[in-house]
């Protein structure tokens, strides 16, 4: 959520953000300002009537004390009228405030000046590439053929039990998942992150706090009876950990890592993008979250990005870093990077991490603040998060890039102690 005062002073900037992000119409800003003006008008009138009501109440006491009963009765009647007016104004103020808050939730974050303006994925900027594409003396196959040939994942039984996009990982396939999870967590902990285990469901306030509501309802699974949502990412519970809290500046930066399954409906996904492990409804991911001072947030963004890239380098995966354009970066982000790995069997890039700076956008919704001194006014923290990393496409790329002609899959050296072998399967 943007600061209302910022919108008042930078209406045209916010309108440009809406246009460039393609997340509504500029009229939203005018609507917010109209509601703001209405709320301020009602509030001013409420204060004036309250002052008059207080004066009338004092007057009644003075008239009664002096024996002027007739004038006191007239003052009592006026006091009753003012109390009725106050009740109406208070209701009007409450209604205006609710409408204003709802309208503010529809306004997207303003992109950082370094973000390229664009509308489609081709407008994203390739900021960095690392690694060399693997060379083969044979035709590499896509990961879904490898999974089927060696019975590492059972999609059919997963579909029977839960539905499409909910696979069973079996034997070495399940062990490979566990090895990656432990490797990613240990790397994060070694880099100064505190590991936490988070709830897999959140309430409406939490989903609203990180921006899933009212923007991404269609992507989340909902437990309607209990008013809960299955988490689409650990970002939601972990960032809400400090909702409605005032932190001490000495506690910052706070860095958390969390492994969770993630649940996404992925409505509208189709074609090659959903084949095999490319796009699932349930998948595993390690999330990295930072809470920092505003002046430190862009340094923290680069720190988190470097951590995620280091994981890819240690796994030996060729990858590229994209600086996302305004139209492809999302509603809540001020700046966003995507990391994509090369998939040799599919001959395409696969996104494995999104790394974003939200500035105060999420923290303002969640009222996460910090105080530098006990007497100082609390300030809003900045939040940064990213995947470190999401497993399905990492698994896909590792299988495809490390496949051997005899059918075996070479395990990257950094992962061998976790997996317990140099190969995933052997002929």
Q: Going residue by residue through the chain (427 aa), what tens digit of pLDDT does each one get?
A: 999 999 999 999 999 999 999 988 999 999 999 999 999 999 999 999 888 878 877 776 676 667 676 776 777 777 788 888 888 999 999 999 999 999 999 999 999 999 999 999 999 999 999 999 999 999 999 999 999 999 999 999 999 999 999 999 999 999 999 999 999 999 999 999 999 999 999 999 999 999 999 877 888 999 999 999 999 999 999 999 999 999 999 999 999 999 999 999 976 555 557 799 999 999 999 999 999 999 999 999 999 999 999 999 999 999 999 999 999 999 999 999 999 999 999 999 999 999 999 999 999 999 999 998 767 899 999 999 999 999 999 999 999 999 999 999 999 999 999 999 999 875 4
Residue count (the chain): 427
Q: Which member of 56, 206, 235, 279 is catalytic?
A: 279
Residue intervals of the chain classified under CATH 3.30.930.10 are 121-419
Q: Which member of 56, 79, 206, 264 is catalytic?
A: 264
What pTM was estimated for this model as a whole? 0.92
Q: Which member of 45, 148, 351, 422 is catalytic?
A: 351
Of 151, 38, 8, nearest in space to 98 by CA:
38
How far apart (Å, rounded) are the C-alpha atoms in residues 89 and 392?
Answer: 55
Based on the residue annotation, tell me whether 351 is a catalytic residue of this protein: yes
Structure tokens at 113: 């000046």
Q: Which CATH architecture has domain 121-419?
A: 2-Layer Sandwich (3.30)
CATH class of 4-104: mainly alpha
CA geometry: angle at 308 spanning 139 and 283, to 5°? Answer: 70
246-248 and 369-371: which strand pairing? parallel
Q: Which helix (H) or strand (E) element contains residue 330?
A: none
Contacting residues for 104 by C-beta, under 8 A, at least 6 apart: 1, 2, 4, 7, 32
Q: Which member of 208, 305, 321, 393 is catalytic?
A: 393
Task: Check whether the bond before 313 is cis (ω within 30° of 0).
Answer: no
Based on the residue annotation, tell me whether 393 is a catalytic residue of this protein: yes
Based on the residue annotation, tell me whether 295 is a catalytic residue of this protein: no
Based on the residue annotation, tell me whether 364 is a catalytic residue of this protein: no
Q: Which member of 79, 354, 356, 387 is catalytic?
A: 354
How far apart (Å, rounded) are the C-alpha atoms in residues 342 and 154?
Answer: 24
Based on the residue annotation, tell me whether 264 is a catalytic residue of this protein: yes
Residue intervals of the chain classified under CATH 1.10.287.40 are 4-104
């Amino acid at each position: 959520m943007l600061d209302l005062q910022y919108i008042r002073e930078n209406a045209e900037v916010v309108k440009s953000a809406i246009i460039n992000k393609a997340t509504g119409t500029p009229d939203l800003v005018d609507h917010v300002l109209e509601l703001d003006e209405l709320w301020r008008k009602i509030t001013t009138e409420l204060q004036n009537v309250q002052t008059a009501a207080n004066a009338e109440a004092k007057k009644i006491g003075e008239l009664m004390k002096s024996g002027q009963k007739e004038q006191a009765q007239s003052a009592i009647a006026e006091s009753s009228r003012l109390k009725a007016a106050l009740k109406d104004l208070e209701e009007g103020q409450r209604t205006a405030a609710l409408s204003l808050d709802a309208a503010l939730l529809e306004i997207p974050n303003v992109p950082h000046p370094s973000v390229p303006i664009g509308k489609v994925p081709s407008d994203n900027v390739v900021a960095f590439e690392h690694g060399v594409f693997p060379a083969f003396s044979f035709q590499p196959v896509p990961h879904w053929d490898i999974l089927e040939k060696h019975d590492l994942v059972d999609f059919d039984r997963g579909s029977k039990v839960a539905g499409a996009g909910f696979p069973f990982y079996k034997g070495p396939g399940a062990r490979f998942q566990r090895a990656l999870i432990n490797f990613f967590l240990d790397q994060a902990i070694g880099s100064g992150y505190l590991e936490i285990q988070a709830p897999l469901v959140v309430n409406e306030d939490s989903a609203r706090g990180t921006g899933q509501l009212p923007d991404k309802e269609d992507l989340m699974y909902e437990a309607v009876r209990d008013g809960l949502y299955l988490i689409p990412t650990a970002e939601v519970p972990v960032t809400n950990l400090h909702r409605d809290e005032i932190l001490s500046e000495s506690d910052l930066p706070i860095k958390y890592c969390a492994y969770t399954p993630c649940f996404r409906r992925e409505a509208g996904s189709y074609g090659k993008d959903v084949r095999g492990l490319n796009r699932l409804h349930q998948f595993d991911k390690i999330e990295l979250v930072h809470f920092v001072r505003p002046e430190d947030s862009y340094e923290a963004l680069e720190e988190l990005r470097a951590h995620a890239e280091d994981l890819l380098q240690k796994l030996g995966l060729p990858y590229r870093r994209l600086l996302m354009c305004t139209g492809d970066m999302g509603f809540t982000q001020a700046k966003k990077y995507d990391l994509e790995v090369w998939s040799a069997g599919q001959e395409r890039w696969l996104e494995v991490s999104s790394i974003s700076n939200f500035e105060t956008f999420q923290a303002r919704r969640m009222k996460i603040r910090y105080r530098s001194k006990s007497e100082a006014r609390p300030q809003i923290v900045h939040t940064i998060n990213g995947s470190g990393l999401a497993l399905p496409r990492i698994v896909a790329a590792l299988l495809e890039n490390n496949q051997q002609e005899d059918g075996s899959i070479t395990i990257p050296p950094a992962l061998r102690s976790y997996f317990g072998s140099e190969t995933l399967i052997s002929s």
